[in-house]
Amino acid sequence: MHEERHRAIVLRVWFWTAGFTLIAAMYPVEYRLSRVGLVVGLVLLLAGSLWLWWGNRLMRFSVVGLMVAALILVALPGREADTEELRSAYANSLRGYAGTRYIWGGERSLGIDCSGLVRRGLINAQFRRGLLTMNGRLIRQALHLWWHDCSANALKDRHRDLTQTLFEQADIVSADHDRLQIGDLAVTRDGVHVLAYLGDHNWIQADPDLGRVLTVGLPTTNHWFHHPVVFMRWRTLAP
């Protein structure tokens, strides 16, 4: 009787944890607390699954296998990534957010802001390339970038040595695009907005004024392209 009561309590807690974890995983705006909550929630769900369904061989092996696979992926040996392939994957990842609504602080497909776009695009590209090439370094870099949030201004200030400065310019329109590579960033000098270069004079941004993610080709009258900017490059995309 006591065992059944304990099981019922644990099962109820498990479902509540699953619900909160799902909300944390889908809610557009991320904070350090929500990241911690997501990690703790996943750990509790796995531990709870083992406790609740240990007698079910399929469930037991599935949960243990999932945990072992996750540890192996994170611990895989690392090596230098092919920067050309990573740039291409980054550009494709960024394009996948076209039309996503703008939400300040957002980092997901349900809502995203300017710095969230350029970060999430790289996180996705690194993680996918890491899985495809079994490169543990890319997977760990993706997790590091996900865990350590940074604003457009922080990217301009080379936060955690994630970026490097290329050059400054009066605006994007007048810049020599031959000096740029796919995946480079343009951060307004005041640090309030960031855009990513897709190549062929095309840029992508989460525009707070238009309220969505869009690709813009040059020339353009979009006012973000007529602000003083600092061009930056992700260190992981540097030649």
Q: 87-123: per-residue pLDDT in tens?
A: 999 999 999 999 999 999 999 999 999 999 999 999 9
What is the pLDDT, as a whole number, of residue 133?
A: 95
DSSP helix/strand/coil, 13: helix
Please determine, looking at this structure, whether the domain spanning 83-237 carries the CATH number 3.90.1720.10: yes
- Six token digits for residue 201: 């004079």
What is the pLDDT, as a whole number, of residue 1?
A: 57
Question: Is the link from the previous residue into 28 a cis peptide, with omega within 30 of 0?
Answer: no
Distance CA 113, CA 152 (A): 10
% of the chain beyond a pLDDT of 90: 87
Domain boundaries of the chain, sorted by first residue: 1-75, 83-237
What is the pLDDT, as a whole number, of residue 50?
A: 92
Output the furthest CA–CA distance in the chain (Å, rounded): 76
Cβ distance 179 to 229 under 8 Å? no
Q: What's the CA dihedral at 173, 177, 183, 184 to 10 degrees?
A: -70
Going by C-beta distance under 8 Å and a sequence separation of 6 or more, which residues neighbour residue 56? none
45-70 burial, b at 16+ Cβ within 10 Å, e below that, comes to: beebbeeeeeeeeeeeeebeeeeeee
Going by C-beta distance under 8 Å and a sequence separation of 6 or more, which residues neighbour residue 22? none
pLDDT in tens, 154-202: 999 999 999 999 999 999 999 999 999 999 999 999 999 999 999 999 9
Distance CA 80, CA 22 (A): 34
Going by C-beta distance under 8 Å and a sequence separation of 6 or more, which residues neighbour residue 20? 37, 41
Cβ distance 180 to 164 under 8 Å? no
